[in-house]
Amino acid sequence: MGMTSSAAGNNGLNGSILLGKLDDMLGWARKFSIFQYPFITACCGMEYMSTACSHYDVDRFGAGLTRFSPRQADVLFVVGTISHKQAPYLLRVYQQICDPKWVVAFGGCTVGGGPYPNYAVLQGIDRILPVDLYIPGCPPRPEAVIDGLMQLQEIIQKEPHGRIQRS
Amino acid sequence: MSQYVLDRLAQELGPELIGTHAQHGDETALVTPQALRRSALLLRDDPALAMDMLVDITAVDHPQEAQRFEVVYHFHSLHHGHRVRLKVRPDSAEEPILDSLTDLWKGADWLERETFDMFGIRFAGHPDLRRLLLYPEFQGHPLRKDYPIDGEQPRIPERAGYPECDYDAEEDSERRAKGLQRALSPRVGPGVAATNGSRATHDEDGYPVPRQSFFLDMGPSHPAMHGTIRISVELEGEKIIGCDADIGFLHRGFEKMCENRTFNQAIVYTDRLNYVSPLINNVGWAMTIEKLLGVEVPERCQALRVLASEISRVADHLTCVAASTMEVGAFTAFLYLIEGREELYKLIERLCGGRVTTTYTRIGGVAADLPDGFAEAMQAAFAKTREMMSDVVKLLNGNRIFQDRMVGVGAISAADAISYGITGPFLRSTGVSYDVRKAAPYCGYEQYEFEVPVGSNGDNWDRYLVRMEEMRQAMRIAEQVMATLPGGPIRVADRSIVPPPKSEVYTTIEGAMNHFKLTMAGHGVSPPPGEAYGYVEGGNGELGFYVVTDGSDIAYRAHCRPPCLAPMSALPSILTGETVADVIATFGTVNMIGGELDR
């Protein structure tokens, strides 16, 4: 993460001092304490459940504590098809999440409408929200979800945390 | 099979009966709109007919014809076991209207609302004819043939939406509150405190009673609502005095998609109906199309379909019980049951290559035979599932907290359940032993030994127990299938339905031609013109497909009868009179699956 342990070994501190940039430290803290808001609507929820439960154990990545209040969350997982009927509520949840916040489009439908190019379905959530990470698949396998989560951690790590300018 | 139903109708209705047929074994009567209520009353009240269940209402659009719409009713008599399809054509194409059946069957309420929503057909006498699946500002009716499949009507402007959007949340909630007031007021009946000034201000224990009721919206994104739905309750203190459910948040045009895809392509969409038990949906769809084609699949294929269905049923009930126990606080039980489901997902993956979206069946067969080592893998997976289930039984069955949330909560009587058209574990928990696998065995279910568990009180507790027992029975069936698995082909030999093996495609001219014909647009599997209703026992009850064909390789009309629509339509009346915490427990045992409910 770009921090270095204090090289001076014999000064009595025994390497207990870390030197680095504040941004790096904030990013490191944030990426291992993801509080996710799962906006679960459809089939993808099945694989979300599988990933979150003991077998794949998303807690290993510091993302085990799901929050069902947008006020307490920092990553919005949009899991499953978003219909036009649903879209305003998704947007409202997004707007209620405090900065800094990230959005994950989980599954083909959120990425681009998936197998439903029709009147009822929003053709990708990036039509109404800024999306940070896309996890394709119909639904994505738990391994793909974990891969996506790790990439999200990379994104979070690299953010300039002191100067985030978002809505 | 039930020709006498048609004879009886002909005898009573005389010239009002326009025509009858019994295509593919489905008795059908076409009556005049004026005779609809008379025939419905006759079907319900004549002891020889006794159609106590209104299974489904839908419509078919024929834009070229003068009487453009055809409304299709499916009736079923639990008592006699027979069925009939009633078709009515409203006279006017511009302002189609029919009499409502809401006072005869409670289930007609939501079914008529759906038909109104999708086709714009009005029902005179319906107490509350609103859209069911789409949103109020939606223009037009999407399942009419002249509505374009991509006719999107976004509620919020694209891109312009963020960071600030035009959608006015406050205005929306105000409008909804007004609509809700209208929707709820007729439901506040006797036995429920009327909201007027003359009420006592203190209850019998001397505690003050809140003077005003208030509305609470639960959903469409709520921590304890697995699936996306809005349950609006009117509360007096903690007591629910009025309730309304708003569904359709996962309406993704399943039926319109199936009317624009070939029969084999549509299997992909059936995966995503009840995504907790996709294999059963695959089987149901394939069987309906095979009924239209008039073919019977080989024995081994039937056995494989039974095997797949039962594995899927276990996964379905595991998920349902897991989610509903988690929502009442039993998180450990949730983790245990999902661990069991994980083993089943691995098993399903061995069978068809996918964990959730399986697409296992084909019209006229299944995608693949069993892989090597499947029997052992199934044994191991079932052992793990049984272990997890027995742990959960120890955790829950004697647990006072769990019992308090479940016993006697969310109860419904058998008569009401039938009137709503409820099937599956929900109906069986009330003591009615109706299971499609026993009542109308398909795929050779009659060969296997299994019990149909029934409850007696129709409450959450009974639904929990019924589901737990059904899982044991499902595993028992799957084990019997493995023990008695017949040999032979897994697909029909008919080359106009199933493509030849690749070895023939690449080496013989006939094989190449057969393959080419089946995969080329407009030349795929094409059942003769007709209509059929096929049904199987899904995870939540009777899963039906009503398909109308015109001789092409695409369905003219494809309709799914979702088993969880009926219990959901009963939910508001079940919840009224209970406390707000019971919403969560009861909703959990309804096992609403958005993909299936909203389609």
Residue B129 has pLDDT above 60, yes or no: yes
In chain B, domain spans: 3-124, 162-212, 254-294+297-491+527-598
Any idea what DSSP says for residue B549? E
pLDDT value, residue A144? 92
Task: Residue B167: list chain A partners with CB under 8 A.
Answer: 88, 91-92
Task: Residue B391: list chain A partners with CB under 8 A.
Answer: none
pLDDT value, residue B467? 92
CA distance A83 to chain B (A): 6
- Give Cα B323 distance to the centre of its chain: 19
Of residues A6 and B440, which shows the higher confidence score? B440
Of residues B546 and B94, which shows the higher confidence score? B546
Residue B102 has pLDDT above 80, yes or no: yes
Confidence band of B197 (pLDDT split at 50, 70, 90): very low
**B99 and B123 Cβ atoms separated by less than 8 Å:** yes
Residue closest to B270 by CA, chosen among B55, B585, B543: B543
CA distance B58 to chain A (A): 19
Name which of B155, B251, B334 is nearest A87 (Cβ-Cβ): B155
pLDDT value, residue B392? 92
- Contacts of residue B94, Cβ cutoff 8 Å, sequence gap at least 6: none
Tell me if B256 and A88 make a contact (CB, 8 A cut-off).
no
Backbone φ and ψ for B188, nearest 5 degrees, come out as: -80, 95
CATH number for the domain whose boundaries are B3-124: 3.30.460.80
Q: Say which CATH architecture domain B254-294+297-491+527-598 belongs to.
A: Orthogonal Bundle (1.10)
Residue B163 has pLDDT above 90, yes or no: no
Q: Which of A115-129, B230-244, B412-426 has the lowest mean pLDDT?
A: B230-244
Tell me if B134 and A85 make a contact (CB, 8 A cut-off).
yes
Name which of B158, B251, B275 is nearest A83 (Cβ-Cβ): B251
For the segment B49-76, the average pLDDT, to the nearest whole number, is: 90
Residue A161 has pLDDT above 90, yes or no: no
Tell me if A118 and B159 make a contact (CB, 8 A cut-off).
no
Confidence band of B195 (pLDDT split at 50, 70, 90): very low
pLDDT value, residue B481? 92
Amino acid B342 reads: E
Name which of B222, B268, B355 is nearest A141 (Cβ-Cβ): B355
Residue A63 has pLDDT above 60, yes or no: yes
Q: Which of A99-108, A154-163, B103-112, B539-548 has the lowest mean pLDDT?
A: A154-163
For the segment B59-80, the average pLDDT, to the nearest whole number, is: 90
Tell me if A42 and B595 make a contact (CB, 8 A cut-off).
yes
pLDDT value, residue B196? 41
Work out the angle at residue B129's Cα, subtended by the Cα atoms of residues B123 and B133, and round it to the nearest 5 degrees: 115
For the segment B335-355, the average pLDDT, to the nearest whole number, is: 91
User: What are the tens digits of pLDDT across the range A87-105?
Assistant: 888 888 888 888 788 999 9
CATH number for the domain whose boundaries are A35-158: 3.40.50.12280
User: What are the tens digits of pLDDT across the range B484-515?
Assistant: 999 888 888 888 888 888 888 899 998 898 88
Task: Residue B344: list chain A partners with CB under 8 A.
Answer: none
Stated as kind and residue range, the H or E segment containing B99 is strand B97-99
ipTM greater than 0.90: no
CA distance A135 to chain B (A): 16
pLDDT value, residue B494? 85
Residue B171 has pLDDT above 60, yes or no: yes
- Can you list the positions of beta strands (E) in B159-213? none
Task: Residue B147: list chain A partners with CB under 8 A.
Answer: 119
Amino acid A158 reads: K
pLDDT value, residue B222? 77
Please give the C-alpha separations between residue B130 and each of B111, B113, B127, B182, in angstroms, as whole numbers.
Answer: 11, 6, 9, 11
pLDDT value, residue B155? 82
**B300 and B489 Cβ atoms separated by less than 8 Å:** yes
Confidence band of B283 (pLDDT split at 50, 70, 90): very high
Residue B348 has pLDDT above 70, yes or no: yes
Task: Residue B251: list chain A partners with CB under 8 A.
Answer: 83, 85, 120
For the segment B113-141, the average pLDDT, to the nearest whole number, is: 88
**A62 and A116 Cβ atoms separated by less than 8 Å:** no
**B67 and B125 Cβ atoms separated by less than 8 Å:** no
- Cα–Cα dist A34/A27, whole Å: 11
Tell me if B256 and A89 make a contact (CB, 8 A cut-off).
no
Q: Which of B30-39, B185-194, B200-209, B399-408 has the lowest mean pLDDT?
A: B185-194
Name which of B220, B269, B276 is nearest A86 (Cβ-Cβ): B220
For the segment B163-185, the average pLDDT, to the nearest whole number, is: 58
Residue A143 has pLDDT above 80, yes or no: yes
Tell me if A49 and B319 make a contact (CB, 8 A cut-off).
yes
Amino acid B496 reads: S
Output the pTM of the full model. Answer: 0.86
Please give the C-alpha separations between residue B550 and each of A106, B531, B547, in angstroms, as whole numbers.
Answer: 38, 9, 10
pLDDT value, residue B186? 43
Q: Reduce the DSSP state of residue B235 to 3 states and report it.
A: strand
For the segment B265-293, the average pLDDT, to the nearest whole number, is: 91
Name which of A117, A128, A138 is nearest B162 (Cβ-Cβ): A128
Average confidence score pLDDT of chain B: 85
Confidence band of A55 (pLDDT split at 50, 70, 90): confident
Q: Which of B203-212, B225-234, B322-331, B477-486 has the lowest mean pLDDT?
A: B203-212
pLDDT value, residue B176? 63
- Contacts of residue A91, Cβ cutoff 8 Å, sequence gap at least 6: A128, A129, B156, B161, B162, B165, B167
Q: Give pairs for B548-554: CB < 8 Å, separation 24+.
A: B548/B60, B549/B292, B551/B526, B551/B527, B552/B522, B552/B526, B553/B262, B553/B263, B553/B521, B553/B522, B553/B523, B553/B524, B553/B525, B553/B526, B554/B259, B554/B260, B554/B261, B554/B262, B554/B263
Confidence band of A24 (pLDDT split at 50, 70, 90): confident
User: What are the tens digits of pLDDT across the range B518-534?
Assistant: 888 888 888 999 999 99
Tell me if B256 and A119 make a contact (CB, 8 A cut-off).
yes
Q: Quick one: closest CA in B to A49, which residue?
A: B338
